[in-house]
Amino acid sequence: MEPVELLVAGETVEPVLLAEVSTLGHAPRVVGVYRRSDLPAGARDVVLALWRVSDPGNVGTLIRTADAFGAAVALSEECADPTGPRALRASAGAIFRVPLLSWDTLPGRRVALVAHGGEPLPEVSLEPPLTFLLGSEREGLPDDVEADLRASIPLPGEAESLNVAAAGAVALYELSRRSA
């Protein structure tokens, strides 16, 4: 294998060294180094707020979904690290475009997405500023999470619920469909 040149530092690194630092099955050809403080900041009118979503793949997928729909993401304590290897891969670079907010700075009306018992999402008023609250994979959202409304995604099939990343995508699509 041919040595790889690091663009920022201008250094060439042997592929075997890249393989040693990689968590991927195949060694990367490029490595990026950044500071957390270099990630985007700022507010957006629509936010996906993740409550204790522990699967890094779901966190990364939700960041990518937020990027597709122009939303921000807020993370509670005990969420998976959005800069961990699995979350970074799942975000497909969106981590460098989507503002990550603190749970304390959620804008607008808070719509909690729950598996059962909420108002049907297609019947809920969705005017930004708006925050969709999404719960952990196992427990969902606890009753004491502050929300203005609880909404459910109607499921005509036999599945009991949606994966948290799928639910976030459906909610953002529903919002964008209405404003198109």
Q: What is the mean pLDDT of the chain?
A: 89
Residues 49 and 87 grouped into a single domain: yes
Residues 10 and 24 grouped into a single domain: yes
Residues 55 and 103 grouped into a single domain: yes
Residues 49 and 69 grouped into a single domain: yes
Residues 44 and 26 grouped into a single domain: no
Residue 43: give its domain's CATH number.
3.40.1280.10
- On the question of pLDDT at 4 being above 50, the answer is no
Structure tokens given for 140: 């969902």
First to last CA, the chain: 49
What's residue 41's pLDDT?
A: 87
- The total number of structural domains in the chain stands at 2
Residues 117 and 48 grouped into a single domain: yes
Residues 146 and 58 grouped into a single domain: yes
- On the question of pLDDT at 29 being above 70, the answer is no
Residues 27 and 44 grouped into a single domain: no
Residues 9 and 54 grouped into a single domain: no
What's residue 19's pLDDT?
A: 76
DSSP code of residue 143 = T
Residues 57 and 77 grouped into a single domain: yes
Which tens digits make up the pLDDT trace of 133-160? 999 988 899 989 999 999 999 999 999 9
Which tens digits make up the pLDDT trace of 59-110? 999 999 999 999 999 999 999 999 998 999 899 999 999 999 988 889 999 9
Helix runs in the chain, H state only: 15-21, 56-69, 85-91, 164-179
Residues 90 and 10 grouped into a single domain: no
- On the question of pLDDT at 123 being above 80, the answer is yes
What's residue 5's pLDDT?
A: 44
DSSP code of residue 136 = B
Residues 11 and 60 grouped into a single domain: no
- On the question of pLDDT at 1 being above 50, the answer is no
Q: Determine the structural domain holding residue 165 and report its residue range.
A: 38-179
Q: How confident is the model at residue 10 (pLDDT cuts 50, 70, 90)?
A: low
DSSP-assigned states of every residue in 27-74: --S------GGGS-----SEEEEESS---HHHHHHHHHHHHHHT-EEE
